[in-house]
Amino acid sequence: MQQHLAPHLTKLKEHNDGSIDATDIRKIEKYYGLAVPAILGEAYATLRNSGLTQRERLACTFMGATTGLFDDFYDKKLLPDDYIKNLYTKPYQYRGQNDNERLFNLCVITALENAADREILMENAGRVHAAQMASRLQTDNTLSYEAIQQITFDKGGYSVVFYMSVFQQQMPRADLKLFYNAGALLQLENDIFDVYKDSIAGVQTLITRATHIKPLRVLYTEMWEKVKSLVFATGYEKEAKAAFLSIVGAIVSRGFVCLDMLEKREKENNNIFQPSAFSRKQLICDMEKPVNLLRTMHYYAEIL
């Protein structure tokens, strides 16, 4: 990031046309641009038992950097679907009309030029695009539970498949199932932490729609158990599978801590979970608190 991406971000911090703000930069530097190579990339490297190459690290770093920008095309910029498709499928032709789109263009081209297979990467980008279009329906409060669940799973599942496809020319079916289900679980974990933000924005998720936390905990646990079984169904070495699960498990453990907090809110509200009944402070799970760090370690030891 410091060597290849930071110089571009520094220029944008100093001067841009207003289409990029501090939040956009922070998403790249502190979250997606960092987490995709440092967590998902390293998890895959651990699974195959070999470190990431320079090209792989470049590709997944810049691909991660596109994530927040890509999300904003739908949620904040409200760009037409066909235009968004042109931006990622024809990056050499559609360079972008502002600094936000031009940064996206730079990241897409860098990822494509360093990926194992451009066509497979673009094919999976199309699945992410379809999932993002479907997620726009989450502002409809008449959406069924089943529809919300499918949107949630597809949004997270195809995103992780997209990230992982940077490393492989042809992904084995067992890997595809593993990465999709791991992504679905991580999206659910993300929604658990975002319950306040989504509730305020009127976004329908499995958490904002919930009236009781226990069924969510059951679903979350079942999904984690499924990911564990899918890891052991792959053809990687036994020790590598365990190491992969230790990385993913560290993230999943955090979700259990947040579920504990939300269940406490439910009990305080006459045993009904209702996000609108609580303040931001009551729904934000601060994972930097020592007690929450200890609880995370407890769950980590318990679920592996």
Tell me how many degrees the CA angle 153-28-50 measures, rounded to the nearest 5. 70
Give residue 169's pLDDT: 83
Give residue 113's pLDDT: 95
In this prediction, residue 149 has a pLDDT band, given cuts at 50, 70 and 90, of: very high
Compute the distance between CA of residue 112 and CA of residue 120 in angstroms, rounded to an integer.
Answer: 10
Give residue 75's pLDDT: 84
C-alpha separations of 296 from 67, 215, 246, 250 in Å: 27, 20, 13, 8
Compute the distance between CA of residue 195 and CA of residue 213 in angstroms, rounded to an integer.
Answer: 12
Q: Which residue has the tokens 């451009």?
A: 118
Beta strand segments in the chain, E: none
Arithmetic mean of pLDDT over the chain: 95
Q: Are 203 and 140 in contact (CB under 8 A)?
A: no
Residue 106's region, left for phi above 0, alpha for psi from -120 to 50, else beta, is: alpha
DSSP string over 155-219: HHHHHHHHHHTTS-SS--HHHHHHHHHHHHHHHHHHHHHTHHHHHHHT---TTTT-S-SHHHHHH
Give residue 291's pLDDT: 97
Give residue 76's pLDDT: 86
For the stretch 113-143, pLDDT in tens is 999 999 999 999 999 999 999 999 999 999 9
The tokens for 204 are 């329908």
Compute the distance between CA of residue 277 and CA of residue 222 in angstroms, rounded to an integer.
Answer: 28
The tokens for 147 are 């529809």
pTM comes to 0.94
The tokens for 280 are 């931001």
For the stretch 28-76, pLDDT in tens is 999 999 999 999 999 999 999 999 999 999 999 999 999 999 989 998 8
CB atoms within 10 A of CB 48: 16
Give residue 93's pLDDT: 95
Compute the distance between CA of residue 235 and CA of residue 48 in angstroms, rounded to an integer.
Answer: 9
What does residue 267 show for φ and ψ, rounded to 5 degrees? -65, -35
State mean pLDDT over 76-99: 93
Give residue 58's pLDDT: 94
